[in-house]
A and B are shown apart, each in its own frame.
Chain A
Amino acid sequence: MKKRILTIFMVVIVMASLLACGKKDNGSGSEGSMGTLVIGTGAFNGVFSPFFYQTAYDAQAMELIFVSVCELDENNELKDKAGHIETEVIENDSKQQTKYTIKLNEGMTFSDGEAVTIDDLIFAYYVYCDPNYDGMSTFATSLDIVGLEEYREGNAETISGITRVDELTCTVLVDGVNIIGDRLLGLVQLVPKHYYGEDYVKGDLAGVKDKSSAPLGSGPFIFESYKNNIVTVKANENYFLGAPHISFVKYQVIDEEQKISAIIKGDIDITDPAASLEVIDELEDEEIPYSLTGYPGYGYIAISAKRIPDIKVREGLMHLMTRSQAIRTYYGDLAEIIERPMTPTLAEYPDDAGEYWGYDPQKALQCFKEAGYEQINGKLMKDGKQLVVEVGIGKAESHPSTPILTQMANDLRAMGGELIISDMEFSLLTNRVQRDDIDMWIMSWGNVTDCDMTQLYGSEYVKAGGSNRTWIQDAELDALMVEITKTLDFAERKQLVAEALDRVMSWATMLPVYQRKDMIIYNPDTIDMSTIPENTSTYYSYVNEIEKLKLK
């Protein structure tokens, strides 16, 4: 069969070139296409499962198929969507516990017509908590649900902390207080148990995985197909917030470099090119509307306290880094310099924090001398060894932070030290950082939605595989971070976060550099711009109100 298609194809390719000219007046905005929104995205893996997806692009292709109990609003606060979640802290003989009550809206159905019930949500919790769960979700490791450990490690058949109350309500009991508990529970997507859980028994996720190529949910759109690098979803007439105006949404894979051209040409309607000064110029020339939102992460330069144990040396290095020139030149207004290692898209970020170390070669030299280094024959020496530091960076030729390193290398050389800039493939860099095999590195953190920093700077996370690769070991900081995750009062928490971040800075292991902007661009010829939410932000976009979006 395939071979026959191939033969036809080879004959046809010649004919198609003749047809090509006649086809052009059939280009953008042709009749019958009014009902189709085309979104430009990256390559799919075809794993369209809320449990097992790995890439942002697979997730994007699913975002209209499923809804969750709650969603994030433009300010990164939890708000009701398909239900409501209530948090209650209870004191159980000197032990603190939190009880979450989740209630779903009435009258919702999955796209196959079956009613949405609380069993569907509970089923999703069980999949994430399954002892053999091998997806990338951190649901089970981030939340101390009562009875979870017995379920995962032992023979318990159920998780005792999860209780079904009625058809639409359940409660989840969690040990301690957790500021992100409501997010973890409320942002889980509703999946039909009768479909995904058909053959599910504890420990066997094969049946759930089998459904990865045909997702089924209760969202505004229904999965139709994935072929020829295009994912097609069609409107769900029974969507609980109202039927969408658009009949089809298609996700078309497109190369990063072609995104703007494809919008200009009218092939796609919405896409997200990497924001740069050049791109902005092009968009303004072509009068293409765009939204800029803060990327929920930040770029940083890290120093390993394990490899450079002398804090004075680290301080000296900190004084040799100057950021604003490099970032301004590269990004203009598309990024801002940040002063504390946390994404400013979080409300807890200390907006009034000033520069902690500051660029000052004199002070740097002073620090190195305090650390015991002496300038001998123009070389910074201690115990017969020159001060040599290796810094790792991925794709140095196009990295915004490269000028910081070249400046630093020059200054250090002038003092008699040496900075070795190692430009390497990203996975190699990751690997060396993980093995504590490099002194300094440049990387970024992404997809941050909460201010829990325990795993980044907590003493116990220095072990192999942990995220604290800068080797901050600070008992007071540990206590402070635990305190943060238990402080439900916002003002109080913000104060604690500011204190904790100052302490992190004092270790001279983390230099936050910049937070950049993400960009969404829209095709003004096809999209009714008045239906794009005005409050588009990092956490809220047209996706959240897709049912209201109209084409021209």
Chain B
Amino acid sequence: MKQYVIRRILTSLVVLLGVSFLIYAMLRMMPGDFVEQMTSGNPTVTAEQKEKLRELYGLNKGIVEGYVQWLSDALRGDFGVSFTYQRPVTEVIGSKMWISFSLAASAFVIELLIAIPLGIAAARRQYSKRDYLIMFLALAGISLPSFFFAAVLQRIFAVGLGWLPLSGMVSAREDYTGFRLVLDIAYHFILPVTVFVITGIGGWLRYVRTNMLEVLNADYVRTARAKGLPESKVVGKHAFRNTLIPIITFIGGSIPGLFAGAIITEGIFAIDGLGKTALDAVNNKDFPFLMTYLMFMAVLTLLGTLISDILYGLADPRVRFR
């Protein structure tokens, strides 16, 4: 097991190295750069000033030369200073990622709490009205565009009924501190979390249902039924436990992704998270930020698959690591 993990981590490092060069080269090949972006529309900036700025921002180096420089800095833990935020990139990501994570994680927990029981309920009566209704709702949720759904929720609950705040993270007019502040933030997160849950729950529902169906048709379930066990025990103990194996694997693999941020929803609700920041960085050509953010995503993805593989072994004793 230990050996397996070490080997996986070592291969991941090689993959990361390749990924980093690809990302670097692609970002550098984007048309335009930060200086061009920031000075467009301003006729008083001269060509000399732009050239000088490129030099100061390190944008005048070739791709290979620049990459080697980036890599040697990165290996020493220096990921550069964001062009737009003018703070170390790691600091910017560090401060915003927890906001994105708390949003995504709350939604994630709620999704699971709803999706697992409903998915099982649907699977137990396949092709019944209940099954169709649950699957219809799941598909409807998946198909809802988040920007549209968010706007509808805002119209109804914020503008129309006035129950919930329209957007933002705290009530600007008040100066809450301590527990009241936490409550206020939670109050502001209700709508965005709802958008996450409704649009994200469908995938989980379908996953739970499919896995449950597979297990319910397995031989050992038939055996359990044949020996006269009550249905609740068959489903609750024998079937559900086996369904948990793929679900836990999937959950473990999804956790790193919770840090990634949600581009559209964060923008609509004026939440200072990583997703909105990444989109702005693309528009502003904030090279050091994008480079580090994408590397961060790469690490999260590799971590996700690694966690799910390890969990798979832990949850299913039949799997052996080699």
Contacts and interface: CB of A to CB of B under 8 A. Distances in A.
A463 interface: yes
Interface in A221-257: 228-230, 250, 252-255, 257
A33 interface: yes
A255 B280 contact: no
B166 to A, nearest CB: 5
Nearest to A35: B173
B85 A8 contact: no
Contact of B36 (A16, A212, A262, A430): A430
A141 B48 contact: yes
B50 interface: yes
B86 interface: yes
A94 interface: no
A138 B49 contact: yes
A254 B154 CA distance: 13
B85 A12 contact: no
A9 B182 contact: yes
Contact of A5 (B50, B182, B270, B280): B182
A13 B47 contact: no
Contacts of A265: 158-159, 162, 166
B42 interface: yes
Given A46-B85, A430-B32, A254 B168 contact: yes
Contacts of B170: 228, 230
Contacts of B162: 24, 27, 265
Given A10-B105, A138-B49, A428-B31, A23 B172 contact: no
Interface in A439-474: 443-448, 452, 455-456, 461, 463-467
Nearest to A13: B186
Given A47-B86, A141-B49, A427 B106 contact: no
Contacts of A445: 41, 43
A55 B86 CA distance: 12
Contact of A43 (B51, B56, B154, B276): B276
B154 A258 contact: yes
Nearest to A266: B173
Interface string A393-426: 0000000000000000000000000000000000
A17 B110 CA distance: 13
A258 B166 contact: yes
Given A461-B47, A467-B43, A45 B84 contact: yes
A28 B159 CA distance: 13
Interface string A6-27: 1011101101110111011001
Contacts of B271: 229
A426 B13 CA distance: 37
A30 B50 CA distance: 50
A252 to B, nearest CB: 4
Given A229-B168, A230-B170, A15 B48 contact: no
A8 B189 CA distance: 14
A264 interface: yes
Chain B interface bracket (under 10, 10 to 19, 20 to 34, 35 or more): 35 or more
Contacts of A253: 168, 270, 272
B12 interface: no
A134 interface: yes
Contacts of B158: 261, 265
Given A228-B169, A456-B43, A2 B98 contact: yes
Interface string B173-193: 110000000110111011001
A6 to B, nearest CB: 5
Contacts of A8: 182
A105 interface: no
B106 A209 contact: no
A52 interface: yes
A455 B46 contact: yes
Nearest to A131: B52
Interface string B86-116: 1100000000001001100110010000000
B257 interface: no
B67 interface: no
A33 B53 CA distance: 45
B48 A228 contact: no
Given A21-B163, A138-B45, A445-B43, A255 B268 contact: yes
B164 to A, nearest CB: 6
Contacts of B272: 43, 228-229, 253
Nearest to B47: A465
B40 interface: yes
B60 interface: no
Given A136-B42, A138-B49, A430 B168 contact: no
Contacts of A267: 165-166, 168, 171-173
Contacts of A209: 86
B102 A262 contact: no
B242 interface: no
Nearest to A212: B86
A523 to B, nearest CB: 11
Nearest to B174: A33
Contact of B187 (A16, A430, A452): A16
B209 interface: no
B172 A268 contact: yes
Interface string A312-329: 000000000000000000
Contacts of A141: 44-46, 48-49
A258 B167 contact: yes
A36 interface: yes
A47 B85 contact: yes
Given A54-B84, A430-B40, A20 B187 contact: yes
Contacts of A250: 172-173
A544 interface: no
Contacts of B40: 427, 430
A132 interface: yes
B223 interface: no
A75 interface: no
Contacts of A19: 183, 187
A367 interface: no
A228 B169 CA distance: 6
B37 interface: yes
Contact of B164 (A2, A20, A428, A448): A20
B21 interface: no
A365 to B, nearest CB: 34
Contacts of B151: 257
A495 interface: no
A230 B172 contact: yes
A70 interface: no
B169 A229 contact: yes
Given A13-B189, A138-B49, A255-B268, A264 B159 contact: yes
24 contacts: A5-B182, A16-B183, A16-B189, A19-B187, A28-B173, A36-B173, A38-B172, A52-B86, A136-B39, A138-B42, A138-B44, A141-B49, A142-B44, A209-B86, A212-B86, A229-B270, A230-B172, A250-B173, A254-B167, A255-B267, A264-B159, A427-B31, A431-B31, A434-B32
Interface of B: 31-32, 36-53, 56-57, 84-87, 98, 101-102, 105-106, 109, 151, 154-155, 158-159, 162-174, 182-183, 185-187, 189-190, 193, 267-272, 276, 280, 283, 285
Given A136-B45, A428-B32, A447-B42, 6 more contacts: A12-B186, A33-B173, A36-B173, A228-B170, A229-B169, A467-B43
